[in-house]
Structures are given as C-alpha cells and as structure tokens.
Structure 1
C-alpha cells in the first residue's frame, strides 16, 4: 500500500505540474500575441502619420504659388522629418504634434488667400485631410485598446507573475495631441463647401 500511495502522490504532483506548465506556456503566448497586435496597430499609426505628412506636403506645394512671402511657415512644414519605423511611441506622438501644428499654421495662412481656398485642387486636399484624420483616430483607438488590454494583463494576478518572470513591460498609450484637446475652428474646414 505504501507504494500505491507514493504513486498516487507522484501522479497528483505530475498532474499539477502539467497544468502549471500548460498555464505558463499559454500565458506567455498570450502576452506575445498581444505584443504582436500592439506592433501591428502601431504600424497602422505609422501609415496614418505617413499619409498625413504626405498630404501636408501636398498642401504646402499647392499653396506655394499663392504665398511667396509666407516662406517661413512653408519652410517649417517642409523641414519636418518622419520618425523611423522603430522610433518610440512618444517620438511618434511628437511627430503627430508637429504635424498638427504645421497644419494649423498652414490653415491660418490659407485663410488669408480666398483664391487658394476656392481652388478645386486645394478643396480636394482639404477633404482628403478629413479622411486622413479619421484614419489616424481609428488607428490610435485600436492601438490604445490593445495597449490597455496588455497593460491590464500585466498587473492582474496570476499573469502578473509571468510578466515579471519574462520581463514584459508596460506600453505607453498614443495620446491625443494638446492641439487636438483644444476647441476646433470648423469655419476654415467647411468654408469652402458653403461657397
């Protein structure tokens, strides 16, 4: 009987060891899957920022003929450089903030030129701006949602144990720019529709 009891105890220990190993592997894989989702959604932000930068560059090009004496504003916009794909999320946020400021400066300058606002080419660029902004907002929402789920799992027991053992670290959110938190003047954006 002593041998039977020993086999039962070893069987129970082996059973719990297998359950623990399966849980550990599942939790590690879950973290890795979330990291892949975060990286994919960060890539979507990169794409949206690239489109936004390209559109802003096209808007600057469209305005050059009208605003020869506004070269300082145009030069600031052109000098912006896109962050590398492997840049941190805070560097990408800074770039998004620069783009917003550049777009705001460009909008202020464009307000002074009614002929430019009335041009069909510039009107198309303005409507494309709305779509690009919506795409960026959607990418930001998906990214922040994935980061939220990941960060929650980092702190919830028992997955927090695995996170500590495997050195998984908290990810930063892609926050709205300070410019976006202010009230928006829609008069510029839609004035060309009314005319």
Structure 2
C-alpha cells in the first residue's frame, strides 16, 4: 500500500507555506461519559454485594467482602485524581518558572542594549556616514542576490575597518572595546533566550497534552477550569525582519 503522503511523487507546494501559532486557549471539557465512568467505579462492584447482603443470598461476611472490594476501584481512582491535580499544579509552576527565566534574560539584554546605545551615541560623531551605511546594510538594502550579498559583505568589512582606524585615532576613547564586549554579551543572552523559549514551549506542549489525558488528568483539568496554553510566538515584525536578513 502506498503512503498517503509521498514526498517523491505527491503534489509539491513550490510556493511554501507560512506557519502561524493559533492564538486560542482551548478549555478542557468532559461529557456525561466521564461522569458515568466515575459512578460505575463506585457502584458496579458494590451493588451485587449490597443486594446479596439485603437478600441473604450469600453469607454476611462474603457480602461485606464484595462491598469492600467493589469500593476499591473508586478509591483507587480518587487517589489517581489527587495525584493528577498535584502533578498539574506542579507543571503550572514549572511553566511560570520557565517564563520567568525568559524575562530575566530579556531584562539583562535590555540593560546591555541601553548601555550600547549610550556608548554608540558617544562614538557616532566619529563618522555618521559610516554608521548610516552599516544600518543600511543590516536592514537588507545591500541586495538579495549572491553577488550583491558578497559585495555588501566586502563593503561592510571595509566600513568596520574604517571604524577601527577612526577609533585608533583617539587613544582615550575606549568605547569600541566596551561595545564589542557588550555585543558579545548580547549575542550570548540571545542564545540563552532562544534556549529558554524552547524549554518554555516544551513545557507548554507537555501541559497541552496532559490536560487531555483521559481519564484522571482530563477530568481533574476540566473540573479545575484549566485550558491549553499558547506557546511562544514570534511577532509579525520579527518574522518580517527575519525574512529580510541575509547574513
């Protein structure tokens, strides 16, 4: 039997497809089937014992034994629900901790970027045209073809050489070293933010699956009013900037 999706012979989407995260939280719900299931756990085993005890069809100890044995499934499921609630609350706390970690890295990055802005403002008078050129190339105005990219890369290398020469002309100006260090820190923090967001999304994915894990977790989640959570999504501006970046 052939595969339903065959990447070698099937129709191909040459234009590509932009994937977006749906900004919607789905409430966890249960139907009457779950209620019947819970009632059955308590009654299916106990009803025969109760009838036997009431009619005297079996010895009294046997009937009581049937009743006790019939209650066990309900008690076991009750403990399962208690454990499920504790697990989901613990997972909630982990989601909060993961989100807080992202905020910590973002705050550090904002501090560093504010410092860089102040340092660049002091050095920008060295050659305003240089900084304008760098900004232009970084915003993608250098072109999109391979040849244009190579030409832009060479010109940017030349621009940075001019910045270095200009800074060397001012021995007291140490901003260039501080800026370089700040940019290294910024790059490191950006990687940490990416990793933290991945961890956050992984935890959210676990939550979104577990709240629908029937019976115990889904029943508990529904009665607690839990919903699915939305994973981290890049803004429209970030996506547009990513498409425009060529190096």
TM range (shorter): 0.5 to 0.7
Identify the residue that residue 107 of structure 2 maps to in structure 1. Answer: 50
Residues 100-125 of structure 1: CA deviation (Å, up to 9, x unaligned): xxxx89x66xx888538962121111
Stretch moving more, 130-139 or 156-165: 156-165
Cα RMSD between the aligned structures? 2.7
As a proportion of its length, which structure holds more helix? 1
* 3-state DSSP of counterpart to 1:155: coil
Q: Which has the larger radius of gyration?
A: 2
Q: Does 1:176 align with 2:234?
A: yes
Match of 1:115 among 151, 163, 167: 163
- Runs of 5+ unmatched residues, structure 1: 71-103, 187-195
- Runs of 5+ unmatched residues, structure 2: 1-57, 129-134, 140-155, 168-175
**Aligned residues between the structures:** 149
Residues 78-116 of structure 1: CA deviation (Å, up to 9, x unaligned): xxxxxxxxxxxxxxxxxxxxxxxxxx89x66xx888538
Identify the residue that residue 23 of structure 1 maps to in structure 2. Answer: 80
Identify the residue that residue 144 of structure 1 maps to in structure 2. Answer: 201
Tell me how far apart the structure 2 counterparts of residues 11 and 62 of structure 1 sit (CA, whole Å): 77
Identify the residue that residue 21 of structure 2 maps to in structure 1. Answer: none
* 3-state DSSP of counterpart to 2:219: helix
Q: What does residue range 6-17 of structure 1 map to in structure 2 within 5 Å?
A: 6-17=63-74
Tell me how far apart the structure 1 counterparts of residues 201 and 228 of structure 2 sit (CA, whole Å): 12
Tell me how far apart the structure 1 counterparts of residues 96 and 243 of structure 2 sit (CA, whole Å): 29
TM-score normalized by the length of structure 1: 0.66
Cα 1:185–1:132 shift into 2, 3 Å: farther
Regions of 4+ moved over 2 Å? 111-118, 180-186
Match of 2:94 among 37, 44, 65: 37
Identify the residue that residue 96 of structure 1 maps to in structure 2. Answer: none
Tell me how far apart the structure 2 counterparts of residues 165 and 13 of structure 1 sit (CA, whole Å): 25
